[in-house]
Structure 1
Amino acid sequence: MQFLRFFSIRLAIIAITLFAIVVLSYTALYFSSIGDYTQLKIHHTPFQFSLFLSSLRSTALSVFQLQFGAPVPVFLVCFLTTLFLSLGSVVLAALIGLPIGIMAAIKKRNIVAQLGATATVVAQATPSFAIAIVLQMYLAVDFHLFPVLGWGGPQYVVLPLIALAFTTVGYIAKFMQAGMNEVIKEDFIVAARARGVPEWKLILRHALRPSIFSVLTYLAPQVAMVISNTYLVESVFDVRGVSQIMNPNGFDAISQLGFAFPPGIQGDPVHAIGMLFILGAMVLVFNLIVDITYCVLNPRIQWFGASQGGR
C-alpha cells in the first residue's frame, strides 16, 4: 500500500508538471518577439486575457492530440523507443562500468585496473554522437556487421546502445570507484576483513550495495544528459524514436511511419511545445525509475522519507 500511494502521488506530480510545461512554454512563446503578443502591439490591438486563455486551451489540446490522438499514439511509440535506448544504455554501461570501478578501487596497483580507469576518463570526454559515427563507419559501412541506418530487429539495436553506453561507462566507473574507496575504509569492512572473510565475499556482499548508491545519486541528475545523447544518436542511426518528431521535418517523418494526425495540430508553436513535453516526460519517468531503484536497494529508505516505526 505504501508503494502504491507513493507511485500514485508521483504519477499525479508528473501529470501536473507536464501540464505546467505546456502552459509555461506557450506563455513564453506568446510574449516572445515572434509571438502573438508582438503582433498585437504592431497592429495596436489591446491584449485580452480571455483570448489568451482561449488560444492557450486550443494549443494545449493540439499538443495532447499530437501525442495521443493518432490511431497508434505517436508519443507512446517514440517515447518507448527512446526510453528503451536510454535505459538499455544505462544497464549496459553499468554491466561494464561497475566491474571497472570496483577493480580500480581494490586493485590500485594492477596494470589492468589502471588501464581501465584511464579508459573511463577517455570515455567521459568522448561525445556519444562521435562514437556513433565511428561505429557506423567501421562496423556498419566497412565490415558490414550491422545495419547502417534504420530500426527493426535486434541487429539494429547494437550500435545505438554501444554508442550511448560508451560515455556513461566512464561516469559510472568513476563514481563506483569513488564510492568503493569510501566504503572499504568503513569500520564494518575492516572488522569483516579482520575476521577472515574472503575478499570476494567482502566486496560482493558487504561493500557493493552501499557503494552503488553513489552511482544512483549520479544517475538521477544526469537523466537529461542521457536523454539528449539518445536524441543525437537516434538522429545518426535514423532510429524511430523521439528524434523523429523533434527534427524540423518531424511531421513529415511521422507521416511516413503511417500515423494520421488530427486536423489543425501542425505549426511551429505546437511542434516546439510538443518537443518540451516529450523531453519533460522522459526526464520525469527516468527520475521515477531511479528513485524506485534507490529505495529497493536500500530498505532503510521509506517511500515517503519516514520510518514505519514513526507512523
Structure 2
Amino acid sequence: MLKFIVKRFFYMLLTIWVVITLTFCLMHAAKGDPLASVGRRLPAQTRKNLYQKYGLDKPLFQQYIIYMKGLVTRLDLGESYVYPGTTVNDIIKKQSPVSAQLGMVSIILGLVVGLALGIIAALKKGHWPDYLVMFLAILGITVPSFVLAALFQYYLTVKLHMFPTTGWGGIKYMVLPALSLSFATIATYGRFMRSSASEVLNQDYILTAKAKGVSNTGMLTHHVMRNAITPTITMLGPQIASIFTGTFVIESVFSIPGIGRYFISCISNRDYPVILGTTIFVAILYIVSVFVVDVLYVIIDPRVKLAGSK
C-alpha cells in the first residue's frame, strides 16, 4: 500500500508539473499584450514599470523559473494583472465556495436521481419506465447545459415567474442552475446504472436469493445496489472535478459570482496568473478526486483488493 501511495504521489506531481508548464507556454504563445486591458491609456513609463513589476520584461524561461519558485516555496499563485493588489489565492478562496456549493448540489442531485432512475429502468426493462429513462438519458447527454438553462429561464421565470432569472443569494437562486448542471449527470448515471443493474439481476446469486424468499427490498439493498453501483463509482472522480469546470458557462448564464464566471472574464482579459492559478487548482482537485475514487472502489468492492494482493 505504501508503494502504491508513493507511486501515485509521484505521478500526481508529474501531472501537475506538466499541466502548469503546458498552460504557461500556451498562454505566452498567444498573440497580444497581457496588460492591454489595464495599460491601454497609461503613459509609456508607467507601462514599463508595470512590465518590470510583473516580470514581463524578462525572457520567457526566466519568467517560468520565477513563477515555479514562488509556487513551490510559498504556494504563491501570483497577482492578478486586471485587479492590481489582488492575489490569485485570494480570488480562489473568495470565489470557489460559491462554485463548490452549486456544483456539489448538482452532483448530489444527479447522483441520487440518476441511480434511482437506472434501477427503476433495470427492474422494468422492456416497459415504459425503461423507455422513459433511456429517452431522458439521450436527451441529457445530447442537449448542452446552457441550452437547458435558457429553456428553464424562459419557461420557469419569464412565463411562470417561479424562480429568479439571474443572481445568487438563496435556495431559489440555486434551483435552476443546479437543474441545468445535474441533467447530464442524471442521464449518465441513469444509463450506466441501468446497464450495471440489469447485468447483476441476471446473475445466479440473484436467482438463489429469490428462491430463498428474500424480499424485493432486501434483494435490492443487499445484492443489487452493492454490486451494481461499483462501476458507476469510477465516474465520481471526474464528476467531482467538474464541480468547478462544469459551472463555468452556467455561472455566466445565471450571473453567479463564482470562480467559473471569474475565469471566463480573465481569459478575455489575458490575466495570466488567474488563468494559471485556476488551472492548477482544478488539476489538483481532479487528481485528488481520482485517488479518492480508487480508495472508495476498494472499500465498496473488496474483490479489487484481493485481486491486487494476488
**TM interval, short-chain normalised:** 0.7 to 0.9
- The answer (yes or no) to whether the contact 2:77–2:88 under 8 Å persists in 1 is no
* Aligned length in residues: 276
- The answer (yes or no) to whether the contact 1:102–1:180 under 8 Å persists in 2 is yes
Aligned amino acid, residue 301 of structure 2 = N
3-state secondary structure, aligned to 1:200: helix
1:271 CA drift (Å)? 4.0
Q: Does 1:197 align with 2:204?
A: no
1:133 CA drift (Å)? 1.2
3-state secondary structure, aligned to 1:157: helix
Relative to structure 1, the CA distance from residue 18 to residue 66 in structure 2 (aligned partners, 3 Å threshold; closer, same or farther) is: farther
Match of 2:21 in 1: 23
Equivalent residue for 1:242, pick from 259, 278, 288: 259
CA distance in 2: counterparts of 1:288 and 1:245, whole angstroms: 28
Aligned amino acid, residue 272 of structure 2 = P
1:15 CA drift (Å)? 5.7
Relative to structure 1, the CA distance from residue 288 to residue 138 in structure 2 (aligned partners, 3 Å threshold; closer, same or farther) is: farther
Q: How large is the Cα RMSD of the aligned pairs?
A: 3.6
1:305 CA drift (Å)? 8.1
TM, length-normalised to structure 2? 0.74
Deviations along 1:137-182, one digit per CA (max 9) or x if unpaired, are 2222333322221222222211111111112111111100100111
Match of 2:78 in 1: 65
- The answer (yes or no) to whether the contact 2:107–2:239 under 8 Å persists in 1 is no
Match of 2:179 in 1: 162
Match of 1:153 in 2: 170
- The answer (yes or no) to whether the contact 1:79–1:278 under 8 Å persists in 2 is no
Q: Does 1:131 align with 2:139?
A: no
- The answer (yes or no) to whether the contact 2:77–2:89 under 8 Å persists in 1 is no
3-state secondary structure, aligned to 1:281: helix
Deviations along 1:179-218, one digit per CA (max 9) or x if unpaired, are 0111112222122122221222112211111101221223
1:275 CA drift (Å)? 4.2
Equivalent residue for 1:214, pick from 224, 231, 235: 231
Equivalent residue for 2:290, pick from 281, 287, 290: 287
TM, length-normalised to structure 1? 0.73
Match of 1:257 in 2: none
Match of 2:131 in 1: 114
Match of 1:56 in 2: 64
- The answer (yes or no) to whether the contact 1:66–1:75 under 8 Å persists in 2 is no
Equivalent residue for 1:274, pick from 274, 277, 296: 277
- The answer (yes or no) to whether the contact 2:136–2:187 under 8 Å persists in 1 is yes
- The answer (yes or no) to whether the contact 2:92–2:278 under 8 Å persists in 1 is no
1:239 CA drift (Å)? 1.3
Equivalent residue for 2:198, pick from 181, 197, 211: 181
Residue correspondence of structure 1 range 291-302 to structure 2 within 5 A? 291-302=294-305
Question: Does 188-197 or 275-284 show the bigger shift?
Answer: 275-284
Structure 2, gaps ≥5 residues long: 34-57, 81-85
Match of 1:262 in 2: none
Aligned amino acid, residue 174 of structure 1 = R
CA distance in 2: counterparts of 1:33 and 1:93, whole angstroms: 37
CA distance in 2: counterparts of 1:9 and 1:159, whole angstroms: 42
